[in-house]
């Protein structure tokens, strides 16, 4: 199996290191000091499960790699439309793109069935710009339940979790999913092939849609948001509205708000990725997390007043932080 990790940051480098350890022909695409360190010393993974180093090929030029069987996409969703020059050299006719994306993916209604089959979610695929670069038929959904961070160039700190749930948009258990899952498991990760990955998307989204924008607006950690009575109520309301949208689309999310809140509180003083991006002056990845669900509420007729309010305020924050 030949795999390229496009966007070999904290999650991407961690996955790439695991696949390399499993014996896959693995190539990491990155840039800057992080790339220089990986070229010199490999990817150094620090984890309570055991430290290891993976000396996979690392480059900033995908043309050096050529076509691969799988592209693991570690980029932020808001950069997908512009990644064409990077991903095109990696593709052959059957290359699969495993997109480790939070929120509603651009392929959500691909082979969905029913009245919404093929519907384009403009918030994440404006004018079809993402689909033009990443054809939906290449997509393999991926929901990440692992937490990692770059402790330094080339150094990945694994904090918790090893599960990367994957699945086909058409709900089949395909040969390509089984092959990718087997390679991930051989590298020490959990990678279940889900019959309907959309359920996992909504479970993860319950936390992302609420905690991420609120954390950026309040500059607060997970624990602080959970312990503040008024903020906790806002988050619970956002979760309830999100569940209503999912159910209107026929997706039963098998987790309660109470359980989701309890899990978030146990995380402690963790800063969400959106808050970290704000602090680092990076673009805020809120379209896939929040704007897309408001858009889905529009097509399903579900009332989501709290989501709309938080979206309006956080959208202004995103615009001002990008200025």
List the catalytic residues: 204
Cα gap 109→119, rounded to integer Å: 6
SS3 of the chain: the string is CEEEEECCCHHHHHHHHHHHHCCCEEEEECCHHHHHHHHHHCEEEECCCCCEEECCEEECCHHHCCCCCEEEECCCHHHHHHCHHHHHHHCCCCCEEEEECCCCCCCCCCCCCCCCCCCCCCCCCHHHHHHHHCCHHHEEEEEECCEEEEEECCEEEEEECCEEEEECCCCCCCHHHHHHHHHHHHCCCECCECCCHHHHHHHHHHHHHHHHHHHHHHCCCHHHHHHCHHHHHHHHHHHHHHHHHHHHCCCCCCCCHHHHHHHHHHHCCCCCHHHHHHHCCCCCCCHHHHHHHHHHHHHHCCCCHHHHHHHHHHHHHHHHHHC
Q: How many beta carbons lie within 10 A of that of residue 134, not counting itself?
A: 24
Tokens representing residue 168 in the block: 């086909």
What Å distances lie between residue 18 and 51, 52, 66, 94, 188, CA to CA? 11, 9, 21, 23, 7
């Amino acid at each position: 199996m030949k795999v390229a990790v496009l966007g070999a940051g904290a999650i991407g480098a961690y996955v790439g290191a695991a696949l390399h350890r499993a014996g896959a022909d693995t190539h990491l695409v990155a840039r800057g000091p992080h790339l220089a360190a990986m070229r010199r010393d490999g990817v150094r993974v620090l984890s309570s499960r055991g430290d290891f180093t993976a000396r996979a090929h690392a480059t900033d030029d995908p043309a050096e790699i050529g076509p691969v069987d799988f592209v693991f996409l570690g980029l932020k969703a808001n950069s997908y439309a512009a990644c064409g020059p990077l991903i095109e050299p990696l593709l052959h006719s059957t290359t699969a793109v495993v997109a480790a994306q939070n929120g509603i993916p651009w392929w959500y209604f691909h082979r969905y069935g029913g009245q919404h089959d093929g519907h384009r979610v403009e918030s994440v695929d404006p004018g079809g710009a993402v689909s033009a670069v990443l054809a939906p038929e290449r997509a393999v959904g991926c929901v990440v339940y692992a937490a990692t961070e770059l402790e330094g160039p080339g150094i990945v700190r694994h904090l918790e979790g090893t599960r990367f749930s994957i699945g086909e948009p058409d709900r089949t258990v395909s040969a390509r999913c089984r092959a990718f899952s087997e390679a991930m498991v051989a590298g020490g990760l959990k990678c279940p092939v889900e019959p309907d990955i959309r359920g996992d998307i909504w479970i993860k989204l319950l936390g992302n849609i609420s905690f991420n924008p609120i954390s950026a607006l309040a500059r607060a950690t997970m624990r602080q948001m959970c312990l503040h009575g008024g903020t906790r109520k806002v988050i619970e309301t956002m979760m309830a509205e999100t569940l209503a949208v999912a159910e209107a689309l026929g997706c039963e999310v098998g987790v309660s708000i109470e359980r989701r809140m309890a899990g978030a509180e146990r995380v402690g003083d963790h800063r969400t990725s959106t808050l970290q991006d704000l602090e680092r002056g990076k673009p805020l990845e809120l379209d896939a997390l929040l704007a897309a669900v408001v858009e889905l509420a529009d097509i399903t007729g579900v009332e989501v007043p709290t989501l709309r309010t938080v979206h309006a305020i956080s959208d202004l924050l995103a615009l001002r932080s990008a200025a």
